[in-house]
Chains A and B, each alone.
Chain A
Amino acid sequence: MDRSYLTLALSKGRLADQALELLEAAGIDCRAARVESRRLILEDPDAKLRFIMAKPADVPTYVEYGAADLGVVGKDTLLEEGRQLYEVLNLGFGACRLCVCGPEALQGRLDRIPNKRVATKYPRVARDFFELKKRESVEIIRLNGSVELAPLVGLAEVIVDIVESGRTLKENGLAVLETIAPVSARMVVNRVSMKMKADRIAPLLAAVRAELEVRRSRTEERRHDR
């Protein structure tokens, strides 16, 4: 084990691209991760940087166990996985909402259905929301995709899912009934690495934070110009 390496776990897909773009803008050399390859571990021996490409739901696990020092992952995944991590930065991109959705007719009457069936990819988020926050009993039905289908075919009354534009919902005659939490990409850090590799992690975080600050003020200026 080479302890001088810093290992970054990225969520394969769009989130990884946006994360790399942000890191590069913050002055961190990510060429190693840009190589077109099917390899799962990409190393930059000069910068002592290692990227691992993981399934989004696995990123918190890699980071909690210290197999990766840092990770970039959506808040929805963090809520669902409930891992012990430092959640240090809100990266802003990948913004959407975790919502309870269902037929428009249920608007405002959700609490009148006893033992609702809730279809979702986020069983833990759904259970916590209904049982702990709303104090309502539910039956959770775990699905792996196209969750919108469930209310349409009578598998469930409502769904818990992430909503970006709401178009898929609309086209299927569904509506947002309640918002559970706003979601965006987060930078997470292993609790031990934060201490043991502070000399490398702290400057990296500072650079990313500074870049986020620049982006924020840029958007504000743009808003101001209009």
Chain B
Amino acid sequence: MSQWRFHTPDGVADILPDDCARMREIESSIRQVFRRRGFAEIRTPGLEYYDVYATGRGLAPQEDLFKFFDAQGRILALRYDGTVPAARLAATLLRDEAPPLRLSYVEPMFRYGEPGGIRQREFTQAGVELMGAASPEADAEVLCTAMEALRAAGLQDFQVSVGQVAFFKGLREAWGLSAEEADLLSRLIDSKEMVALEEMADRIGLRGDDREALLQMPSLYGSYEVLDRMEALVGNPVSRDALANLRGILEILEDAGQLSAVSVDLGMLRSLDYYTGMIVKGFTYGIGYPILSGGRYDNVVSEFGRTLSSTGFSIGVDRLMSALRRQGSPPAPFRPDVLLGAGPGRAARRAALLWADAARAQGRTVARDVGGLSPDGLRAEAEARGIPEVRYATADGRVEEA
């Protein structure tokens, strides 16, 4: 059947020149930030063994992995994220590197799942992993890196929500919830279903400060005052440690002058099996989904046999591009600075080639006419393509503006 010949599969897309240029610019600004802050870039393969993601508790939902078989019948999976391959590396080829490891990547990822809108099946993520450091310093470093990267990419107006999953895990234990109750409760908090939460609080018999703490979790945002408020309500040591950890992180962000875009949100409770401490999501105008997400994952590297408390984030480059576009900064059209033609004969051609080399060495983009156009023809061509400058080399070796 050839009916699909002209189409790309669901969830993937061609990136046209203007967008592609903008994308490479963004990626390169982000890379520079990562490098400047000491994160070394790694490149992991586009294909992994399925087992990499299927270890232990499962580091990715199997429904979301693109799977193939190799010639030996082993299951392969397309790269699903940046963190798990980095964890595999940290525990294998990089096992002799002393912690902390500072790694970064900018790569396309592949995920099944409902396509449509901006949820693509192939999308580029740029992220860092700081492995082998459990301190609030590490989490704050990662958060500062994320914010610097967003700014470098041209995003000015964004907000970063920081949570701490250990806060809820402490409550879960202190209240003696069953796994089912805890699961339901975390989903209700995360989707801010206040009515259902009140019913649930009654059902599990929460009173006084406990009830108050639960009902405030979804709606309390802010800075230190959120921590103060919760410290007054919550007594169990795990949750209190979580609050102290967040306070430490906030203090470092404050010292770095990065507190203004940050807001504490203890009601963010995603992927509780994966994350172990601080979690982060970043938002901006013009796009209904987070553009940044990450957190502390102390139990992931150990799936590969090395214990490294780790933290990191990834930025959705495609989402970032959509946001920038909708915020009124469309990509600049890609066009050369100069269109360069030459008259007949080798002398003119040599002059043109020399001139082009010199101009390109100065960083200008020069497209050379390959159709033997006359000066008039060159001007028409340049006009049609929006190229601002036209040059023409003559047989006597001069290169003139045409």
Query: Which size bracket describes the interface of A in this complex?
Result: 20 to 34
Q: Contacts A87-B193, A89-B194, A192-B290 known; A3 to B117 CB distance under 8 Å?
A: no
Does A175 count as interface, using CB distance less than 8 angstroms? no
CB neighbours (8 Å) of B195 from chain A are 89-90
Number of chain B residues whose Cβ lies closer than 8 Å to a Cβ of chain A:
23
Choose one: A86, A87, A196; the contact of B285 (CB below 8 Å). Answer: A196
How many angstroms between the C-alpha atoms of A3 and B284 in the bound complex?
11
How many angstroms between the C-alpha atoms of A3 and B193 in the bound complex?
26
How many angstroms between the C-alpha atoms of A85 and B288 in the bound complex?
10
Residue of B nearest to A189 (CB): B192
Choose one: A1, A64, A85; the contact of B286 (CB below 8 Å). Answer: A1
Does B289 count as interface, using CB distance less than 8 angstroms? yes
- Tell me whether A1 and B283 are in contact (CB under 8 A): no
- Tell me whether B191 and A87 are in contact (CB under 8 A): yes
Chain A: minimal CB distance from B113 (Å): 12
Choose one: A3, A86, A195; the contact of B283 (CB below 8 Å). Answer: A195
CB neighbours (8 Å) of A193 from chain B are 288
Chain A interface, DSSP helix/strand/loop, else mixed = mixed
Chain B 283-318 interface 0/1 with A at a Cβ cutoff of 8 Å (1 = within): 111111110000000000000000000000000000
Chain B 122-139 interface 0/1 with A at a Cβ cutoff of 8 Å (1 = within): 000000000000000000
Chain B 190-202 interface 0/1 with A at a Cβ cutoff of 8 Å (1 = within): 0111110000000
Does B245 count as interface, using CB distance less than 8 angstroms? no
Does B164 count as interface, using CB distance less than 8 angstroms? no
How many angstroms between the C-alpha atoms of A194 and B161 in the bound complex?
11
CB neighbours (8 Å) of B374 from chain A are none
Residue of B nearest to A66 (CB): B288
How many angstroms between the C-alpha atoms of A85 and B284 in the bound complex?
16
Does A149 count as interface, using CB distance less than 8 angstroms? no
How many angstroms between the C-alpha atoms of A196 and B39 in the bound complex?
30
Does A198 count as interface, using CB distance less than 8 angstroms? yes
- Tell me whether B287 and A192 are in contact (CB under 8 A): yes
- Tell me whether A88 and B285 are in contact (CB under 8 A): no
How many angstroms between the C-alpha atoms of A63 and B289 in the bound complex?
11
Choose one: B192, B263, B288, B328; the contact of A87 (CB below 8 Å). Answer: B192
Chain A: minimal CB distance from B217 (Å): 13
Does A116 count as interface, using CB distance less than 8 angstroms? no
CB neighbours (8 Å) of A192 from chain B are 283-284, 287-290
- Tell me whether A1 and B327 are in contact (CB under 8 A): yes
How many angstroms between the C-alpha atoms of A193 and B287 in the bound complex?
9
Give chain A interface residues in 162-199, CB to chain B under 8 Å: 189-196, 198
How many angstroms between the C-alpha atoms of A198 and B191 in the bound complex?
16
Give chain A interface residues in 1-54, CB to chain B under 8 Å: 1, 3
CB neighbours (8 Å) of A195 from chain B are 159, 161, 221, 263, 265, 283
Chain A: minimal CB distance from B161 (Å): 6
CB neighbours (8 Å) of B117 from chain A are 65
Q: Contacts A192-B287, A196-B285 known; A1 to B161 CB distance under 8 Å?
A: no
Does B364 count as interface, using CB distance less than 8 angstroms? no
Chain B 150-167 interface 0/1 with A at a Cβ cutoff of 8 Å (1 = within): 000000000101000000
Does B360 count as interface, using CB distance less than 8 angstroms? no
Chain A 110-131 interface 0/1 with B at a Cβ cutoff of 8 Å (1 = within): 0000000000000000000000
CB neighbours (8 Å) of A90 from chain B are 194-195
- Tell me whether B194 and A88 are in contact (CB under 8 A): yes
Q: Contacts A3-B285, A3-B286, A65-B288 known; A196 to B194 CB distance under 8 Å?
A: no
- Tell me whether B328 and A86 are in contact (CB under 8 A): no
Does B35 count as interface, using CB distance less than 8 angstroms? no
- Tell me whether A86 and B288 are in contact (CB under 8 A): no
Residue of B nearest to A209 (CB): B194
**Residues on B facing A (Cβ under 8 Å):** 117-118, 159, 161, 191-195, 221, 263, 265, 283-290, 326-328
12 pairs of residues in contact across A and B, judged by CB atoms under 8 Å: A1-B285, A1-B326, A65-B288, A66-B288, A67-B288, A88-B192, A89-B194, A89-B195, A90-B194, A90-B195, A196-B159, A196-B285
